[in-house]
Amino acid sequence: MQTELEDKLGEECGVFGAYDFDGGDVASLIYYGLLTLQHRGQESCGIAVSDTNGPKGKVISAKDMGLVNEFFTPEHLEQMKGDIGVGHVRYSTAGSSTRENAQPLVLNYVKGTLGLAHNGNLINAPELRHELEYTGAIFQTTIDSEVIAYHIARERLNSKTVEEAVGHAMKKIKGAYSLIVMSPRKLIGARDPFGFKPLCIGKRDNAYIITSESCALDTVGAEFVRDVLPGEIVTISSEKGIESDISHCIAESDHARCVFEYIYFARPDSYIDGQSVYNARILAGKYLAMDSPVDADLVVGVPESGNVAALGYSLQSGIPYGQAFVKNTYIGRTFIKPKQKSRENSVQVKLNALKEAVYGKRVIMIDDSIVRGTTSDRIVRMLREAGAKEVHMRVSSPPFLWPCYFGTDVPAREQLIAYNRSVEEIREIIGADSLAYLDIDRLQAMVGGLNICKGCFTGKYPMEPPEDDIRGNYVP
């Protein structure tokens, strides 16, 4: 999916589900939640709702390519009557970016209907898919979310409840997933046992919400209740409120949250598993200043995700924090653009250097990561052309040395600039006066001691990765 011109990571998706026990329509609530989660995916979006007091199994859904506020109109939302629903914004890590692959998925089967939204990536999706195909399953998409939906539907035939079916399906699927499942009378949230992807619960009046990030709760005026635990299944129903099944939880020492939620993906105003994303980025910047100091006149961040780490560097070093770039806020994140032609001038379109801020100065530039290095050298050159005397680059993550199989678009090793190169060699390629990365030993302290996945830095994954890297030809 990524091209040689792209140097930002992609995240899989954002999910938002709501159930109003008072019977109010939830489509608008979901809409505003998805707007807040737009940073997690800008290729497609969708909402599916149902009326728990209406005809059982009737689901109204709408999904398409593009941004939430471009596709959904007031007329759309007005027609979507229902007190329970789920929404999704999508970024595809590989493969096709098509309307058919947009979520939520709505499945009609013998027990009724299921609406499903999924954030993450399964590592055994191809084998599960082939197994289903040889027993007669016909797939409408190329996404592993449909594999999950099929397994839940099949398990439901021999299960007393939908949540029990979700639990049985979780025993078969392997990888990273945060799920929201809408059944005719229940809203169910599930998080993989390692806790790769975030998921939390909120409440507004008598409406309950399950979503990827707590910032979406703030937007809709909901109170944060708690995070869904790694391996937990949460069931929300009007009869029993919030019920929990933690039988799929594993020991806390084995959890493996994606550290890039804290470094890059999540909004800085979110809290994930009790830790502030903003504070994590401040700490990353402070650690960079402690471990890799340099004399300079100005500290700047590459918008947006580098800004908070740059502030942390400034606070620790005493070097003034400033703004060196003007960003066109009407352009989406560079990595979201699905075609190479639309990426060719993406850096120039998105960013412009402020000559008055950097002219004649020694500048420390903080960015969250370097993937291929093709964007970094352009931004360094941009600062030099604006008159910066020196450009020192600091990166608020360790070097990428291995691919990711769990929903983050870290590509094959051969495409990574840090693969088989020293930091000095990378510095020469991007044209900076100096370059330093965050020390890998700082990561766990940065997130308050939580256990995290470091696979893309170390090659040691929390579970055995697939033998073949099938991301480019199967999982979108």
Tell me: do 200 and 339 sit in the same domain: no
Q: What is the CATH number of the domain that holds 280?
A: 3.40.50.2020
Between 11 and 335, the higher pLDDT residue: 11
Q: How many domains does the chain have?
A: 2
**Does 390 fall in a domain?**
yes
Q: What is the pLDDT of residue 331?
A: 58
Residue 17 belongs to what domain range? 13-255
Q: How far apart are CA 172 and CA 188, in angstroms?
A: 18
Per-residue tokens: 88: 């999704």
Tell me: do 247 and 280 sit in the same domain: no
Tell me: do 164 and 138 sit in the same domain: yes
Q: What is the pLDDT of residue 12?
A: 63
Tell me: do 227 and 298 sit in the same domain: no
Tell me: do 107 and 209 sit in the same domain: yes
Q: Furthest-apart CA pair in the chain: how many Å?
A: 71
Within its chain, how far is the Cα of 199 from the centroid? 11
Tell me: do 348 and 423 sit in the same domain: yes
Last residue of a domain, one of 230, 255, 280: 255
Tell me: do 91 and 134 sit in the same domain: yes
Tell me the pLDDT band of 347, cut-offs 50, 70 and 90. Answer: low
Tell me: do 327 and 441 sit in the same domain: yes
Q: Which element (helix H / strand E) includes 289?
A: helix 277-291
pLDDT digits (tens, 9 = 90+) for 107-138: 888 888 999 999 998 988 888 888 888 887 77
**Does 167 fall in a domain?**
yes
Q: What is the pLDDT of residue 343?
A: 45
Highest mean pLDDT among 87-101, 114-128, 130-144, 434-448: 434-448
Q: How far apart are CA 373 and CA 53, in angstroms?
A: 54
> Averaged over 454-473, what is the pLDDT?
79
Q: What is the CATH number of the domain that holds 47?
A: 3.60.20.10
Tell me: do 99 and 246 sit in the same domain: yes
Q: What is the pLDDT of residue 176?
A: 93
> Averaged over 48-70, what is the pLDDT?
92
Tell me: do 210 and 300 sit in the same domain: no
Q: How far apart are CA 84 and CA 365, in angstroms?
A: 46
Catalytic: which of 13, 45, 200, 249? 13
DSSP string, 362-407: EEEEEES--SSSHHHHHHHHHHHHTT-SEEEEEESSPPP-S---SS
**Does 348 fall in a domain?**
yes
What are the CA-CA distances from residue 69 to residues 32, 36, 106, 205, 390 (Å)? 9, 11, 22, 25, 41
Query: Partners of 208 in the beta sheet?
Result: 19, 203
Q: Which element (helix H / strand E) includes 202?
A: strand 200-204
Q: How far apart are CA 163 and CA 127, in angstroms?
A: 24
Residue 13 annotated in active site? yes
**Does 466 fall in a domain?**
no
Which amino acid is present at 241?
Answer: G
**Does 195 fall in a domain?**
yes
Helix, strand, or coil here: 360? coil
Tell me: do 275 and 249 sit in the same domain: no
End-to-end CA distance of the chain: 8
**Does 7 fall in a domain?**
no
**Does 471 fall in a domain?**
no
Per-residue tokens: 276: 């502030």
Burial of 364-375, coded b for 16+ CB within 10 Å and e otherwise, reads bbbbbbbbbbbb
pLDDT digits (tens, 9 = 90+) for 25-41: 999 999 999 999 999 99
**Does 143 fall in a domain?**
yes
pLDDT digits (tens, 9 = 90+) for 221-252: 999 999 999 999 999 999 999 999 999 999 88
Tell me: do 291 and 183 sit in the same domain: no
